[in-house]
Amino acid sequence: MTRRLDPALQLAVPAALVVAVGIAASLASRSNEIHYLRALVSVAIVVAIYVFVGNSGVLSFGQVSFVAVGAFAAGVLTVPTALKASVLPGLFPVLRDNSIGDLTSLALAAAVGGLFAFLVGLPLMRLTGLAAGIATFAILEITHNLLREWTKIGPGATTLSLVPETTGPLRATLGALLVIGVAFAYDRSRWGRMLRATRDDPAVAQAAGIHVHRQRLLAFTLSGALAGLAGGLLVHMLGSITTGQVYLELTFITLAMLVVGGMTSLWGAVLGALAVSGLDSFLAKAEDGVDIGFTLTVPTGTRLVVVGALMALVLIVRPSGLTGGREVRLPRWRRRAEAAA
Amino acid sequence: MSGVVASVDAQTLVDAVGLGAIFALMAVGIGLVFGVLRLVNFAYGQLVMAGAYTLAFTAGLPLAARLAACLGVVLALTVALERAVFRPLRTASPAVMLVTTFAIAFLLQSIALILDLRDGTIGEAAASVGGLNQAVSVGGVDVRKVTLVAIAVAALALGLLALLLARTTLGLHMRAAAADFQTARLLGVRADRVIASAVLLSGVLAAVVAVILTVRTPLVTPSFALMETIVVLVGVVVGGLDRLWTATLGGFSIGFATGVINGALPTEHTVFLPSAVFALVVVVLLLRPGGLFAPGRSALVERV
């Protein structure tokens, strides 16, 4: 009984939580809606990072590159053609003269993110540990540098605006659910299990015939595609974006979410993303003054101090995160009751 | 090509050596801690930033007091980091330590932002330390005094450090710990003392760098020294993180190269320079994981 129920719970509980946030978003006032949408898009990004980092145990600072690539691909191609020639005159003609629908742009964002991750991962997936951390950080820097300076493929250092704002509560929820669903299916698949085996003991996994490089590359590519999709959702939520928004700070916040929730489980990724988003939104409001019985005002910058301190604290005191790195399970008394029956 | 070569004059070279000297100091600070802890300190730049803010906030005091305050604040912060963060993480994997110092970097930067924003504006002026910003003419080349000071201080600091490592018991212990920490402990090297000394030395170097950098760029912001740290990390990895001298040489080289390229090429030709530099990092990690200057392979990088 338990054996059949646990996997269902592992998908149902995170999904139900995401749906609840989606419903809250659709009921929220116009000014509050953005906080819920942000939380949902964060879930998509963090789960995308989890697919690679959680299952492989290899640290990556680079997954936000794929968010950035997805966001700018989806953004640049959905600015109306009539306006594009005047706001983005430097683009390659093929990008300048064509636009696509916003749903197509999400699919394209996922494809571009996945392709980019595959090409990057091809050499990089040979690296482990510290070297992988530094090399993926280099990828983040290269992506940022190219997006910021190369005006043939994007807006360069200026803001990309006039992107249709089509990521509402429904689409953000569906997007987050899709990412969670894919991550769950991968987790339970043969490949997911093989990759986790290489994480837990590389030598034994290799001896058992698992091709470490191939499994890591697969997860990296999948993670890149999901991150690209999340980037597409992000740009259609914001309507305008700069390269600075998909760079160091986003990398920091999303890694903090994953670490706080628990790096090695899907449940940890979802819970961490929602918990830290909630905290972050509350502090962002408190920086402008928020009414909680009395008016609480904290200095600008407090949210990063709190999130940074929380992340460092979790890493030092409880490296497995809030969830202990485990998936959702039945409460202990239910398991015992069922074992007895 | 001849146009490029012609524009690299003595002026550019001297400035480039000055920049290389500063980066070498930072590289030593990062390399020392890596040697004993296997920890890449991403938050090193924020130590420098803290020193720079101290200089800015004490602008009214006498110079000696300001320098002492700068050293005191940076050292206090370094010791606090060692006790509260590095020590509990000593047995963690290098990747976890890297991500933790990444968090600490953001934490310190945000604290600086809060302190800085008290007057409503971002950025504090650290009034120039002792007129070091004036230029002197050496053989027809105008050199800012701070460039000469940077070169002299770097040479002095590296010389002293080399003596410390080669001639003293503490240095011997540190080298032993860097070579093989577990064996060194078994042979009676006191781990806490060695690590504390290495971290403390890196803090002293951070304070020195803070003074030199504030003279070069007197406007202190929360992201002060952030880009420099990233570039130095690149240099350290490219040079070879495993050995102190290759790390230092890597730091110097990247500072020197940046100085020459930025001095010689017009800005529109250097916008993609960061991409080229970071691509070099990836290539080195893949092909010569021990670093460009290190002989043979190293144990730093495990590959699959």
> What are the mean pLDDT values of chain A's consecutive 10-residue runs (341 residues total)?
72 94 92 92 97 94 96 92 83 84 93 97 89 91 94 88 90 96 96 95 92 96 98 95 93 92 93 94 86 80 89 89 84 69 61
Q: Pick from B103, B110, B271: which is nearest to A312 by CB?
A: B103
Instruction: Give the span between the Cα atoms of B27 and A181, in whole angstroms.
Output: 45
Whether B301 and A128 lie within 8 Å, measured CB to CB: yes
Backbone angles phi, psi at B188, to 5 degrees: 100, 10
| C-alpha closest to that of B217 among B146, B141, B155 | B146
The token pair that represents A189 in the structure block: 């698949």
Residues of B whose CB is below 8 A from A311: 100, 103
SS3 call for B236: helix
**Alpha-carbon gap: A125 to the closest alpha carbon of chain B (Å):** 8
Are β-strands B124-125 and B141-144 bridged in parallel, bridged antiparallel, or unpaired? unpaired
The token pair that represents A307 in the structure block: 């999130």
SS3 call for B187: coil
Backbone angles phi, psi at A249, to 5 degrees: -65, -40
Instruction: Give the span between the Cα atoms of B301 and B291, in whole angstroms.
Output: 10
The pLDDT, as a whole number, for residue B1 is 40
Whether B114 and A299 lie within 8 Å, measured CB to CB: yes
**Alpha-carbon gap: A112 to the closest alpha carbon of chain B (Å):** 20
Spatial contact of B55 and B210, defined as CB atoms under 8 Å apart: yes
* CB contact residues (below 8 A), chain B span 83-102, against chain A: 84-85, 88-89, 92-96, 98-100, 102
Q: Tell me the angle at which helices B63-81 and B44-57 cross, rounded to the nearest 10 degrees.
A: 150
Whether B110 and A126 lie within 8 Å, measured CB to CB: no
The pLDDT, as a whole number, for residue A93 is 85
Judged by a CB distance cut-off of 8 A, whether residue B160 touches chain A is no
Angle CA A90–A249–A161, to nearest 5: 30
Judged by a CB distance cut-off of 8 A, whether residue B81 touches chain A is no
Residues of B whose CB is below 8 A from A149: 271-272
Q: Pick from A213, A304, A317: which is nearest to B110 by CB?
A: A304
Whether B233 and A311 lie within 8 Å, measured CB to CB: no
Q: How many CB atoms lie within 10 A of CB A319?
A: 16
| pTM for the whole structure | 0.90
**Alpha-carbon gap: B72 to the closest alpha carbon of chain A (Å):** 23
Per-residue pLDDT tens, chain B, 304 aa: give them. 444 444 567 788 888 899 999 999 999 999 999 888 888 899 999 999 999 999 999 888 888 899 999 999 999 999 999 999 999 988 888 878 888 999 999 999 999 999 988 887 888 887 666 666 677 777 677 777 888 888 998 999 889 988 998 899 999 998 888 888 888 889 988 888 899 999 999 999 999 999 999 988 888 999 899 989 999 998 998 888 878 888 999 999 999 988 888 887 777 778 888 888 899 889 888 888 777 776 655 545 445 5
Residues of B whose CB is below 8 A from A220: none
**Alpha-carbon gap: B64 to the closest alpha carbon of chain A (Å):** 32
Q: How far is CA B148 from CA A339, B141, B160, in A?
A: 77, 12, 18
Judged by a CB distance cut-off of 8 A, whether residue B286 touches chain A is yes
| C-alpha closest to that of A114 among A229, A35, A264 | A229
Residue with the two structure tokens 């509560």: A169
Q: How far is CA A106 from CA A3, A73, A78, B17, B111, in A?
A: 36, 9, 10, 49, 37
Please, which residues bridge with residue B146 across strands?
none
SS3 call for A294: strand
E strand or H helix that includes residue B136: strand B135-138
Please, which residues bridge with residue A291 across strands?
A295
SS3 call for A296: strand
Judged by a CB distance cut-off of 8 A, whether residue B282 touches chain A is yes
Q: Tell me the angle at which helices B191-216 and B145-167 cross, rounded to the nearest 10 degrees.
A: 170
Which residues are CB-neighbours of B200 under 8 A, at least 6 positions away?
Answer: B75, B78, B79
Closest residue in A to B113 (Cα) is A301
E strand or H helix that includes residue B143: strand B141-144
The pLDDT, as a whole number, for residue A303 is 87
Spatial contact of A105 and A78, defined as CB atoms under 8 Å apart: yes
The pLDDT, as a whole number, for residue B105 is 93
SS3 call for A295: strand
For the question of an ipTM over 0.90, the answer is no
State CA A95 to chain mean position distance: 26
Among the residues of B168-190, which ranges form H helices? 169-179, 181-186
Instruction: Give the span between the Cα atoms of A45 and A165, in whole angstroms.
Output: 19
Interface test with B, best of A216, A300, A305 (most B CBs within 10 A): A305
Whether B95 and A129 lie within 8 Å, measured CB to CB: yes
Residues of A whose CB is below 8 A from B84: 316
Q: Spell out the domain ranges in chain B.
A: 12-224
Q: Spell out the domain ranges in chain A.
A: 2-244
Closest residue in B to A206 (Cα) is B304
Residue with the two structure tokens 């009921």: A27
Residue with the two structure tokens 């749903």: A103
Closest residue in A to B101 (Cα) is A312
* Per-residue pLDDT tens over the stretch B3-43: 444 456 778 888 889 999 999 999 999 999 988 888 889 99
The pLDDT, as a whole number, for residue B2 is 42
One-letter amino acid for residue A150 of the chain: W
Instruction: Give the span between the Cα atoms of A62 and A230, in whole angstroms.
Output: 15
The pLDDT, as a whole number, for residue B297 is 53
One-letter amino acid for residue A250 of the chain: L
